[in-house]
């Protein structure tokens, strides 16, 4: 495993991270302060990051404006490499005055640009906020699963994607796990499926990461506890992704947090992306992550 950088590594939030051909690719919310577009960041050593993009701008997606809402926000992307193409899933908020939506765009390279599919993949409703897409390619079954939802209603929904990953094949009924708010992530380790997610309000000290395990990618879930929680000055860690280092049993967690804060919030300013090591016990339990770096 490479030596980890001193946290934080980048301004931003909601990092989705994957490794492709020895390069880390990071897709966050807000790479330049503007609320309506996405950037990608790449690194071969975790210390030096190159910005690419914008990889997608909401002004390039005609259906975004069809709801007539006065403003739209680009949130929480997730990226899938599947059959030599790149699929970029993203949230369009807010939930009010019109429902939130999830879109999907397609590209030929991890650095984009991504071209939208021409329609929303999923639309929210009164008791479901369509945000925080996460796509998991199950290496056991070969199926593609979309995990989505949170905040308003704090409801998790899971869908199986079609052969064309820009379409949904069917919804898979699942239970929402304990303490779920948003930001679901799925990873598989030694035959055990880990569903991790954020809990609480992203602007205060309650924001944290919890997890449950299951024998398959759609449950049933067994709640296992907290992975990340606020400490004295690093507050509100959440909306994360796990990455396994190639050829090793070592895992990393990327997440965002508020730096140098005190009290319970609400906090203002910018959030920061961080990375720390993940350790597992012999029974597969994830040990609480000790946040590093910062003041």
Residue 228 has pLDDT above 70, yes or no: yes
Mean pLDDT of 39-61: 96
Residue 295 has pLDDT above 60, yes or no: no
Q: Taken in order 72, 113, 76, 83, is the CA torsion positive or negative?
A: positive
- Domains, the chain, ranges and CATH? 10-278 (2.115.10.20)
Burial classification of residue 281, based on how many CB atoms lie within 10 Å of its CB (0-12 exposed, 13-18 middle, 19 or more buried) = exposed
pLDDT at position 274 is 98
Mean pLDDT of the chain: 95
What is the Cα–Cα distance from 29 to 234, expressed in whole angstroms? 19
Report pLDDT digits (tens) over 55-99. Answer: 999 999 999 999 999 899 999 999 999 999 999 999 999 888 889
Burial classification of residue 113, based on how many CB atoms lie within 10 Å of its CB (0-12 exposed, 13-18 middle, 19 or more buried) = middle
Find the angle CA(183)-CA(289)-CA(19) to the nearest 5 degrees.
60
Q: What are phi and psi of 63, to 5 degrees?
A: -65, -20
The band of 152, judged by pLDDT with boundaries at 50, 70 and 90, is confident
Mean pLDDT of 98-106: 96
pLDDT at position 34 is 87
Mean pLDDT of 235-243: 98
117, two tokens: 């599919």
Distances in Å between the Cα of 286 and the Cα atoms of 124, 216, 249, 251 are 32, 18, 13, 11
More confident residue, 161 or 69: 161
Count of all residues that appear for the chain in the document? 295
pLDDT at position 2 is 67
Which residues contact residue 258 at a Cβ distance below 8 angstroms, ignoring those fewer than 6 apart? 234, 235, 236, 265, 267, 269, 271, 272
pLDDT at position 1 is 64
Given strand 251-258, what is the order of strands in its sheet?
Answer: 10-11, 272-278, 251-258, 235-244
Q: What are phi and psi of 62, to 5 degrees?
A: -60, -40
**Portion of the chain with pLDDT greater than 90, in percent:** 89
**Portion of the chain with pLDDT greater than 70, in percent:** 99
29, two tokens: 């919310």
The band of 123, judged by pLDDT with boundaries at 50, 70 and 90, is very high
Residue 184 has pLDDT above 60, yes or no: yes
What is the Cα–Cα distance from 1 to 3, expressed in whole angstroms? 7
0.85 cut: is pTM over it? Answer: yes
203, two tokens: 């602007």
163 three-state secondary structure: coil
Residue 247 has pLDDT above 90, yes or no: no
Strands 85-93 and 73-82: antiparallel
Report pLDDT digits (tens) over 11-30. Answer: 999 999 999 999 999 999 98
pLDDT at position 154 is 87
Burial classification of residue 254, based on how many CB atoms lie within 10 Å of its CB (0-12 exposed, 13-18 middle, 19 or more buried) = buried
């Amino acid at each position: 495993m490479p030596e980890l950088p001193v946290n934080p590594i980048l301004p931003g939030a909601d990092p989705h991270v994957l490794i492709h051909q020895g390069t880390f690719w990071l897709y966050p919310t807000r790479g330049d302060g503007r609320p309506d577009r996405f950037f990608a960041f790449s690194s071969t050593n975790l210390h030096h990051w190159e910005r690419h993009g914008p990889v997608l701008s909401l002004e390039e997606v005609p259906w975004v404006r069809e709801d007539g809402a006065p403003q739209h926000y680009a949130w929480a992307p997730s990226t899938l490499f599947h059959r030599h193409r790149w699929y970029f899933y993203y949230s369009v908020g807010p939930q009010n005055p019109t429902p939130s939506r999830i879109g999907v765009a397609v590209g030929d390279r991890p650095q984009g640009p991504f071209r939208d599919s021409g329609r929303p993949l999923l639309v929210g409703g009164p008791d479901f906020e369509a945000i925080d897409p996460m796509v998991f390619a199950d290496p056991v079954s070969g199926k593609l699963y979309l995990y989505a939802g949170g905040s308003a209603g704090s409801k998790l929904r899971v869908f199986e994607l079609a052969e064309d990953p820009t379409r949904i094949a069917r919804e898979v009924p699942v239970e929402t796990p304990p303490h779920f708010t948003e930001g679901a992530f799925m990873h598989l380790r030694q035959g055990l499926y880990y569903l991790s997610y954020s809990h609480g309000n992203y602007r205060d000290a309650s924001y944290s990461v919890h997890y449950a395990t299951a024998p398959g990618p759609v449950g049933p879930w067994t709640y296992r506890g907290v992975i990340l929680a606020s400490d004295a000055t690093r507050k509100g860690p959440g909306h994360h992704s796990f990455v396994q280092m190639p050829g090793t049993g070592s895992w990393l967690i990327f997440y965002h947090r508020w730096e140098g804060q005190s009290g319970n919030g609400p906090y203002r300013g910018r959030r920061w992306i961080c990375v720390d090591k993940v350790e597992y016990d012999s029974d597969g339990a994830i040990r609480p992550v000790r946040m590093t770096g910062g003041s």
